[in-house]
Amino acid sequence: MKISVIIPTYNRKHTLNRAIHSVLSQTFQPREIIAVDDGSTDRTKEWLAKMYPAIRYVHQSNSGVSAARNVGIKTAQGDWLAFLDSDDEWLPQKLERQVAAVKEDADSLFCHTNEIWIRNGVRVNQGKKHRKYGGLIFDKCLDICRISPSSALFKKSILDDTGLFDEELPVCEDYDLWLRITASYPVIFLDEPLIKKYGGHEDQLSRVPAGIEQYRIQSLEKILHTVELTSAQSDAARKMLLRKMNIYLGGLKKRGRSELVKKIEKKIVYWTII
């Protein structure tokens, strides 16, 4: 099994060493590590060349994490892909456990794991709403993102069917891709924490002023229009979309966003009668 590890990074030299070290410490070594530099200004290129000359370095102008991951995918020589955010780290047996799992279940081409959450240096418990699942989990992935990019290992050929990350989404790009994948593919879930996710820092990707629910709505609308779903999947996605739209609408009304209120009200009517 030839695994390409893709690490997108932007001005994260201060955490990148931890991430890379966790890959090099794996008991199952990948074929390659690709660092995709999304236009960093902290001399990431020079630091990588000095500290980790064997890592494949790819530079792009600042275009966002989706574009960076997509560049990594197109560059990858392996037939399996694993992502690692540059502020996260893997536990040493992460890849070994996943490789064993997918070899045992030859019909599954996607595997994700549980995780440890660290917020501002302190370990925190995951809430029940963040529970993770295996199998055919499309309906379980409609409310929130159930799969952490840093935990995912999957066959590259899946993306020939589903497409790559949506570069128009500033956030929720993982939620969007996992929905497209889980609509057609079962996934393996290893219920053991094999990654550490760090949060609370200022450059965390999910910190966007406008919030993320509007992007989940955008993703659900796109999927309903463009992805071939079963009738049960379509019904579940439309039900979740209407639920999210009504919640979003309530917030817009409270903030006096009259133009957006009218827009969302029209969308609610459309998705109710379609």
Which pLDDT score is estimated for 25?
98
Which pLDDT score is estimated for 209?
46
Which pLDDT score is estimated for 274?
84
CATH class of segment(s) 3-199: alpha beta
Low-confidence spans in the chain with pLDDT less than 70: 201-211
- What's the burial of 116, exposed, middle or buried (CB within 10 Å: 0-12/13-18/19+)? middle
The stretches of 6-62 forming alpha helices (DSSP H) are 13-24, 44-51
Please work out, in degrees rounded to the nearest 5, the angle formed at the alpha carbon of residue 131 by the alpha carbons of 27 and 73: 50
Question: In angstroms, what CA-CA distances link 249 with 28, 92, 170, 238?
Answer: 48, 45, 21, 16
Which pLDDT score is estimated for 206?
45
**Torsion angle, CA of 128/264/210/247, rounded to 10 degrees?**
-30
Which pLDDT score is estimated for 106?
86
Which pLDDT score is estimated for 202?
56
The domain spans of the chain are: 3-199, 230-273
Q: Are strands 110-119 and 3-9 parallel, antiparallel or unpaired?
A: unpaired
Write the pLDDT tens digit of every residue in 207-250: 454 568 999 999 999 999 999 999 999 999 999 999 999 999 99
Which pTM does this prediction carry? 0.94
